[in-house]
Structure 1
Amino acid sequence: MIDRSLHSVLVVDDNPSSRYATSRTLRAAGFNTVEASAGAEALELVEFVSAVVLDVHLPDLLGFEVCRLMRSRAATASLPVVHVSAVYVTQEEQAAGMESGADAYMVSPVDPEALVATLDHLIQERPIAMH
């Protein structure tokens, strides 16, 4: 079991209420959170977190592209990424998300316990510098 208080999760979602709800769930579970409302903003913050919960439908870049860009950088190549989407929910879209480098794909609304358990597992499986 990881010490969640040592880990920050970047929550990327252009919908303020969804971003707030996800961040609140993660904080209640003991994680620290950082928030971004767009892909470019996420790419600026991503080097300072232990994992990313990444909405697919963003105003500037698709979450798939944000994930590909993270994977192309040495500092964030192995960062755990969980795609979340209420829009891109077909099996083809979920496969595209996994092909972009995501570690998991969850359809919104996401079960809070499942999200926390997924993050616990991914962070534990990929030890990275703690932030």
Structure 2
Amino acid sequence: MTRYAGFKLLIVDDHAHNLFTLRTLIESEMDVEVLEATSGQDAIDLTHRHPDIDLIILDVQMPEMDGFETASMLKLRKRTRDIPIIFLTAAFKSEEFQQRGFAVGAVDYLLKPIDDNLLINKISTYFRLIEKERELNRTLEQTVAQRTAELAEARQYLENIITHMGEALLVLDPGGTIKHTNPAAWKMLGYCADNLRGMSIGDVFEEEGDAEAGAFMGTWLEALIRTGALSRIEARFIARDGRRVPILFSRTAVKDPEGRISDIICIAKDMTGYVRVAENENARALPTGGSTTTR
């Protein structure tokens, strides 16, 4: 038989002879630590001093505070409410007794005189259940720890990409307030992260042409809400010192499971040093200093 070393068992009985008999039997079969209490109040006090008790064997017929009252008190406390309790009784054998015992939190009961083998088997059963539960908890904790580490690694990987990307990144709420930016945006606009957070996109964004100025949160956003489509336009950022920074700008909406826009992701490429060259009625950008040949 497994010896169950490391488990702690509390036996409660107002007769010293019964306690001695129980201890002798249990310690002959198991390497568990056995604690003794001679009353219900003594049992409650012991659970305060030993919060790691695994199982309680509790006599029902005790003066002052009987087993039912003791079990009820133990179940009131968060620290002891989940400790399995096996009732021992010589007087009550009816179904009514069993129901009352289970109602106050007992998981099992045994009749006196005690069958030694039955008692040891009962104790072993609950220790095996406790072992299995603890193993499941350890496995769950390991799985959670592993998953947490994986998520942290993935988050760090994405943060590194965002931090080192050359394009400016701005994440807006549906109303156009800036929630998050990356270092490229700080450098392009001349602001620090704390300054940008909470600003309106209209404070730093200017579309080409007077007719389109300020349209970021107007007609375009309405279309974005309807379609969720990606839009690329030529526009300008307004830097902190008033400079207009030409950009190629893309913006797209992120929607929640209900289809509502939760975020607007904006990515801007600095087009300083590039000029537009018309070719076949399409606009394209070439670096300043580039040349074209026509026939």
With normalisation by structure 2, the TM-score equals 0.41
Q: After superposition, what is the alpha-carbon deviation per residue over 1:3-51, rounded to whole angstroms, capped at 9, x for unaligned?
A: 5221121110011111110111111111221001000000111234211
Find the partner of 1:112 among 113, 116, 135: 116
**2:8 aligned partner:** 8
RMSD, aligned α-carbons: 1.7
**2:203 aligned partner:** none
Work out whether residues 84 and 108 of structure 1, in 8 Å CA contact, stay in contact via their aligned partners in 2: yes
Distance in structure 2 (CA, Å) of the matches to 1:49 and 1:56 = 19
Distance in structure 2 (CA, Å) of the matches to 1:116 and 1:102 = 17
**1:98 aligned partner:** 102
**1:86 aligned partner:** 90
Distance in structure 1 (CA, Å) of the matches to 2:118 and 2:98 = 17
5+ residue gaps, structure 1: none
Work out whether residues 2 and 124 of structure 1, in 8 Å CA contact, stay in contact via their aligned partners in 2: no
How far did residue 119 of structure 1 move? Answer: 1.5
Distance in structure 1 (CA, Å) of the matches to 2:94 and 2:18 = 20
Q: What secondary structure does 2:114 align onto?
A: coil
Find the partner of 1:73 among 77, 99, 103: 77
Query: Identity over the aligned pairs, expressed in percent?
Result: 23
Distance in structure 2 (CA, Å) of the matches to 1:48 and 1:35 = 15
Distance in structure 1 (CA, Å) of the matches to 2:122 and 2:13 = 18
**1:34 aligned partner:** 35
Work out whether residues 13 and 38 of structure 1, in 8 Å CA contact, stay in contact via their aligned partners in 2: yes
Distance in structure 2 (CA, Å) of the matches to 1:12 and 1:61 = 12
Greater gyration radius = 2
Specify the code of the residue in structure 1 equivalent to 2:120: V
Specify the code of the residue in structure 2 equivalent to 1:14: D
Q: After superposition, what is the alpha-carbon deviation per residue over 1:59-109, rounded to whole angstroms, capped at 9, x for unaligned?
A: 221101111111111111111110001123332112211111101011111
Specify the code of the residue in structure 2 equivalent to 1:43: I
More helix as a share of residues? 1
How many pairs does the alignment contain?
128
**1:17 aligned partner:** 17
How far did residue 117 of structure 1 move? Answer: 1.4
* Deviating more after overlay: 113-122 vs 8-17: 113-122
**1:44 aligned partner:** 45
Q: What secondary structure does 1:82 align onto?
A: strand
Q: Which has the higher contact order (CA 8 A, sep 6+)?
A: 1
Distance in structure 2 (CA, Å) of the matches to 1:48 and 1:3 = 18
Distance in structure 1 (CA, Å) of the matches to 2:15 and 2:93 = 17
Q: What secondary structure does 1:35 align onto?
A: strand
Q: What secondary structure does 1:76 align onto?
A: coil
